[in-house]
Structure 1
C-alpha cells in the first residue's frame, strides 16, 4: 500500500476519478469539493491536501482530503488503513483539529491521531446521508423563488445560524461560495405572505448527482412545513435536469430526518465528526 498527497485539486481529480465514480453518492463531499475548487466556486485553499491510497499495482483504493479550512474528511478507505492515513496527514497538516468519516474509520483515525499527538478526542456531531427515491411534494402554503444577490446578507445570516444550530464550527462557512451560489441561482427561498420563511441550496452537479444543503428555517417560522416544501421544490428542479439528488441531515435533529424521509429521501450512510482537544 502506498499513500500519495497533493495540493492540486485538478491533479487529484485526474488521479482518483475512476475510483470516485464507483460510488459518487458515498463520495459526494469529496467530488463536490474538488469540482468547486477546479471550477472556481470556492477559492483555492493553500492549506488543502488531497490524499489517495494505492494498491501495489498503483490502483487507487482509498481517498481522503483536508480542504477549504475543514478538518480531515475520509472517503472510502481499505480496511485497517485509517491509522496509516492519519500518520500521513499528521506529517503535512498537524494543525488539523478533527476528522469526519464513517464511524469506524473516523474513530480509528482519531485514535491514531490521539496516540501520536497526546490529545483526546470526542464526537462533536453526526450526520446521515440520504438519497432521493420517489419524490413526494408536500402541500404547504407559500411559493418558491430563487434568492437575489441583494439578499446575500440574509443568506449568510441564515447559513451561519444553521451551522450554529448543528454545532458545526463557523470556520466551515464559506461566505464567498455562498455568494457564488446565489449568483448562479442555486439558493432558493420559500416565501409566505411576501417574505422569506425558509431557505435551501444545492451544490453544482457532479457525476450526475447534486447535493442539497444548506437547509434552514428560523425558529419563528418552524413547524409549518416550509423546509420540506423548499427542499422538495429544489429536488424537483434537479430531477427535471435528470440528476440524482442527495442530502445530509444532523443525526441529532430527529425532525430533519423525519421530514426528509416524508418527502422521499432514504438513509444510506452514517458519519461522525470527532474533535481533537
Structure 2
C-alpha cells in the first residue's frame, strides 16, 4: 500500500476518476471539490491536499482530501489505511482542525489523529446523504421560483452567512467572490412571494453525473410555509431534466429538514460524522 498526495486537482482527477466513478454518489463532496479547483470556481489554496491510496499494482483503492482550508474529508478507504492516511495528513497539514467521513471511518481517523498530534477530539455534527427517488411537489405553496442574478449576490451572501452561523459549521465559509461566481454560473435560485425573496436553494457543480443540492436557507421569519420544499423540488426537477442524478445532505439534528426532503422524494443513503480537534481539556461550547 502506497499513499500519494498532490496539490494539483487536475492530476488528481486523472489518477482517481476510475475509482471515483465506481460510486460518484458516495464521493459527491470529493468530486465537486476537484471540479471546483480544476474549473477555477474555488481559488487555488496552498493548504489544499488531495490524497490517494494505491495497491501494490498501483490501482487506486482509497481517496481523501483537504480542500480550501477546510478539514480533512474522507472518501472510501481500506480500513487498514486509516492510520497511514492520518499520518500522511499530519505530515503535510499539521494545522488541520477536523475530519469528516462515514461515521466509523471518521471516528477511527479522529482517534489516530489525536494519538499522533496529542490533541482531543469530539463529534461536532452528523449528516445524512440522500438521493432523489420519485420527485413529489408540495401542494399549495404561495410564490414562484426564479434564478438568482447579479443584483441578488449581496442577499445570497447574507443568507449564506446566516445559515452557517445558525448551523455552527466551522470556517472557512464561501466568500462573496465564490458566491458571485456560482450565481453567475446559474446555480443559485430564489423563491419569491409578491416579488420578495423568501428562500434560497443552490446546487453544486455537477460531477460524475450527479448534482448536489445545497445550500438551502429560509430566514426564520419565513419558515413553515413550504418555500424551501417547493424550491428544492423545482431545482431538483431542472437538474433531473438535464439528465443528472440529484443528492443532498441534511443535518441529522434537524428533524424538520429530514422530514421535508423525504416528503418530496429523497431517500437516505449514508450517515457521516464530523469531528473537531482541540487541545486536551478545552471546554466545549
Whether the 8 Å contact between 2:157 and 2:175 is mirrored in structure 1 is: no
* Equivalence for 1:266: 267
**Number of residue equivalences:** 277
Q: Deviations over 1:90-146 (max 9, x none)?
A: 000000000000111111111011011111000111111000000001121110001
Q: Name the residue aligned to 2:218.
A: 217
**Where in structure 1 do 4 or more consecutive aligned residues deviate above 4 Å?**
none
1:23 matched to 2:23? The reply is yes
Residue 174 (structure 1) shift: 4.0
**Match of 1:180?**
181
Pairwise CA distance, 1:204: 1.5
- The residue aligned with 2:283 is none
Unpaired segments ≥5 residues, structure 2: 279-285
TM-score of the aligned structures, taking structure 1 as reference length = 0.98
- 3-state secondary structure, aligned to 1:228: helix
Shift, 1:177, TM fit: 2.1
Deviations 1:59-102 (A, max 9, x none): 00000000011100000001232111000110000000000001
> Is 1:121 equivalent to 2:125 in the alignment?
no
Post-superposition shift, 1:163? 1.1
Query: Unaligned regions of 5+ residues in structure 1, if any?
Result: none
Superposed CA RMSD:
0.9
Q: Equivalents in 2 of 1:113, 1:194: separation in Å?
A: 50
Provide the rounded CA distance (Å) in 2 between the counterparts of 1:181 and 1:56: 40
Seen in structure 2, the aligned counterparts of structure 1 residues 27 and 174 have a Cα distance that, compared at 3 Å, is farther
1:1-277 map, 5 Å:
1-139=1-139, 140-277=141-278
Q: CA deviation at 1:175?
A: 3.2
- 2: distance between equivalents of 1:67 and 1:212? 19
Residues 73 and 101, structure 1, Cα contact 8 Å, conserved in 2? yes
Contact 1:160 1:170 in 2 (8 A): no
